[in-house]
Amino acid sequence: MELKNLDKIVALCKNRGFVFSGSEIYGGFANTWDYGPVGVELKNNIKKAWWKRFVQESPNTYGVDAAILMNPRVWEASGHAQGFSDPKMDCKSCKQRFRADNLIEDHSHGKVSAEAMTNEEMETYIAENKIKCPHCGNFNWTPIRQFKLMFETSRGTVDGEKDTVYLRPETCQGEYVNFLNIQRSARAKVPFAIAQIGKSFRNEITPGNFIFRTIEFEQMELQNFCKEATSFDVYEDYKKQAHQFLLDLNFKDDHLKFHDHDKLAFYAKAACDIFYLFPMGWSELNGIHHRSTHDLSRHQEFSGKSMQYVDPVTNEKFVPNVIEYSIGCDRLVLAVLCEAYDEETLENGETRVVMHLHPALSPYKVAVLPLQKNLSEKAKGILKTLSKEFMCDYDEAGSIGKRYRRQDEIGTPFCVTIDFDTLEDDTVTIRERDSMQQIRLKTNEIVSYINERIKF
Ligand code: GAP
C-alpha cells in the first residue's frame, strides 16, 4: 500500500489555512500547533460528528465538560502523580532526547513492540541492535531514566504558599469524578456512559509527526459504567462502534486494523487500539479498554465517597466496571487529512490535489463563485442566503479553474457558479468536488440539494 507524503500534507495545511506552527512569528514553540480558518472548521466538524454518534444517537450517554485543573488528589487516585512517566534516553553526542520504546519501534518499523519490555530489556535490545541516534547517527546513549509527563503549575497568590496543581493529562478523570453527580441528576441506570471532549496536556519526550503527538491536544473520551457480567459485551460493542465511526467518515477498511495490547495493566481485563496507516506507518488512532472496577474503586478509596451503584430492581450494590473508548481529536484530524488527500491526474494531463473529505467534515460546504466581478452583487445575495445554513466561502479572484482547484484542496464539496444566465433565470451551476460533474439548479433549490448530501 502506498503511504501518503506527510510533508506535502503539512505544506498544504499551512498554505490553505488548516494548521500553522504555534507562535510562528517568534520562531515557533516546538510541537504546538494553531488551527487556521479551515482547520478550526474541520476540527469542530469532527467533534460534532463524534458527539452526534456517541452522545446524541447513543442511548444512556451523557455529556460532561469538567474542569482542566482538578483537585491534586485526583492524580494520586489515578496513579498519575506517582507513575505517569516514559522511559527516556539522551544522546550524549547531540543532547537530543528520545523515548526508548519509540527508538525500538521505529527501528523495527513497528514489527517489534516495546510495550511489554522492562527498561533493562529495552537497553539490551538497543545495544544488541546498535540502534543509533535518529538525529546525529551516533551510538552514544545514556541509560534509560523515567521522565515525568504531567505539566505542573501552581495555585495560590502568596509566595511560598503555592500548591502544585496539574494540567490534566487525560480527560477521563473528569468523567469518573462526576459518576455520582451524573447518575443521580440524570437518573441514569447502569449501563450508562459519560462522554467528554476537552484539552489534555502531556510533557511528551518525543512529540512529533505534525499533530500526531503534541504536548497539548484534545481528547474525545467516553466511559461506560456497566455490570461485570455484561462488561465484555459492552467492550466488544465499542470496538464495533469505534470501527464503524471511522468507516462512516470515509476511512478505507484496509487502512485500519485492531491491535490487542501485548501487556495489560494489572487491573485491566482487555485492551486494544485501532491503528491507522499514517504516512509514517501503522500507529495508534484510538483505544478501547476494559478497566474493571479500578478507576471508581480508586476514587472511592481516595475521596472517601461510596461509588457503589444500587440496582433499582434487585437492590444489588456494586461498583460498576468501566469500558473506556478514547480517541485523540487532533490525531483524528491528521488521519482524516491523510485519508482524504489525493493527487489525481486529469484528462488534460494536469494534476489536481483534492481532499476527499466526508462532506459533513468539510470546512466549507459550499463556495460561491461569480464568473466575473460584475456578477458579485447577485453572488453576494446568494452567499447571504446560503450563509444562514452553511459555512460558505466566497471567491471572485482569478480564473474559475483556479478557484475550483483551491476549493478542491480544502475539500469543499460544492461550488456554486453565478453567471449571466443567473440574472435571467435565477439558476446557477453547481459543481460536485469528487466527480467534477456540473448541473444547473434554481437558486431556491441549492439549500435542500446540499443538505441532502452532507448528512452524517
Ligand atoms: N484515558 C485514556 C487515555 O488517555 P491514551 O492512549 O493515553 O489513553 C488516548 O490516549 C488517545 O489520545 C490516543 O489514542 C491518541 O489518539 C490521543 N493522544 C494521546 N497522547 C497524545 C498526544 N501526545 N498528542 C496527540 N494525541 C494524543
pLDDT at 115 over 90: no
184-218, pLDDT tens digit by residue? 999 999 999 999 999 999 998 876 799 999 999 99
pLDDT at 293 over 80: yes
Would the pTM of this model clear 0.85, i.e. be above it?
yes
Average pLDDT over residues 272-280: 97
- Ligand 1 atom at shortest distance from the alpha carbon of 204: 23
Higher pLDDT, 145 or 208: 145
pLDDT at 175 over 80: yes
Residue 351's pLDDT band (boundaries 50, 70, 90)?
Answer: very high
pLDDT at 413 over 70: yes
Residue 223's pLDDT band (boundaries 50, 70, 90)?
Answer: very high
Q: Is 407 in the pocket of ligand 1 (CB under 6 A)?
A: no
- Ligand 1 atom at shortest distance from the alpha carbon of 207: 23
Give the pLDDT of residue 113: 85
Per 3-state DSSP, the chain is made up of helix, strand and coil in percentages (nearest 5) of 35, 30, 35
Q: Is 198 in the pocket of ligand 1 (CB under 6 A)?
A: no
- Residue 401 grid cell: 479553474
Question: Which residue has the least CA distance to atom 16 on ligand 1?
Answer: 328
For 109, phi then psi, to 5°, come to 50, 40
Residues 6+ apart with CB under 8 A from 42: 18, 35, 333, 336, 337, 357, 361, 362, 363, 411
Compute, in angstroms, the gap from residue 57 CA to the centroid of ligand 1.
24
Q: Ligand 1: which of 50, 290, 326, 333 to mutate, most ligand atoms within 8 Å of CB?
A: 326
Compute, in angstroms, the gap from residue 94 CA to the centroid of ligand 1.
29
Fold of 6-82+149-337: BirA Bifunctional Protein; domain 2 (3.30.930)
Q: Ligand 1: which of 170, 246, 294, 327 to mutate, most ligand atoms within 8 Å of CB?
A: 170
Q: Is 378 in the pocket of ligand 1 (CB under 6 A)?
A: no
Q: Is 118 exposed, middle or buried (0-12, 13-18, 19+ CB in 10 A)?
A: exposed
Q: Is 328 in the pocket of ligand 1 (CB under 6 A)?
A: yes
| Percentage, residues of the chain above pLDDT 90 | 89
Compute, in angstroms, the gap from residue 401 CA to the centroid of ligand 1.
41
Range with the poorest average pLDDT among 37-41, 52-56, 81-85, 91-95: 81-85
Average pLDDT over residues 74-94: 91
- Amino acid 85 reads S
Question: Which residue has the least CA distance to atom 20 on ligand 1?
Answer: 213
Question: Which residue has the least CA distance to atom 15 on ligand 1?
Answer: 328
pLDDT at 159 over 80: no
226-257, pLDDT tens digit by residue? 999 999 999 999 999 999 999 999 999 999 99
Q: Is 276 in the pocket of ligand 1 (CB under 6 A)?
A: no
CA–CA gap between residue 250 and residue 260 (Å, rounded): 24
Question: What kind of architecture, by CATH, is found in domain 364-453?
Answer: 3-Layer(aba) Sandwich (3.40)
Q: Is 284 in the pocket of ligand 1 (CB under 6 A)?
A: yes
Q: Is 287 in the pocket of ligand 1 (CB under 6 A)?
A: yes
Give the pLDDT of residue 443: 97
Cis peptide before 191 (omega within 30 of 0): yes
User: Residue length, the chain?
Assistant: 456
Contact assessment for residue 207 and residue 30, using Cβ atoms and an 8 Å cutoff: yes
CA–CA gap between residue 173 and residue 403 (Å, rounded): 47
Give the pLDDT of residue 160: 67
Tell me the pLDDT of the chain averaged across its residues. Answer: 95
| Percentage, residues of the chain above pLDDT 70 | 99
To the question of domain 85-146 being in CATH 3.30.40.230, the answer is yes
Question: Which residue has the least CA distance to atom 6 on ligand 1?
Answer: 287
Average pLDDT over residues 65-92: 93
Give the pLDDT of residue 82: 85
Contact assessment for residue 443 and residue 426, using Cβ atoms and an 8 Å cutoff: yes
pLDDT at 162 over 90: no
pLDDT at 417 over 80: yes
- Ligand 1 atom at shortest distance from the alpha carbon of 287: 14
Q: What would the DSSP string read from start to end of 297-339?
A: HHHHHHH-----EE-TTT--EEPPEEEEEEEEHHHHHHHHHHH
Give the pLDDT of residue 207: 67
371-402, pLDDT tens digit by residue? 999 999 999 999 999 999 999 999 999 999 99
Average pLDDT over residues 358-363: 98
Q: What are the residue boundaries of the structural domains of the chain, listed by start?
A: 6-82+149-337, 85-146, 364-453
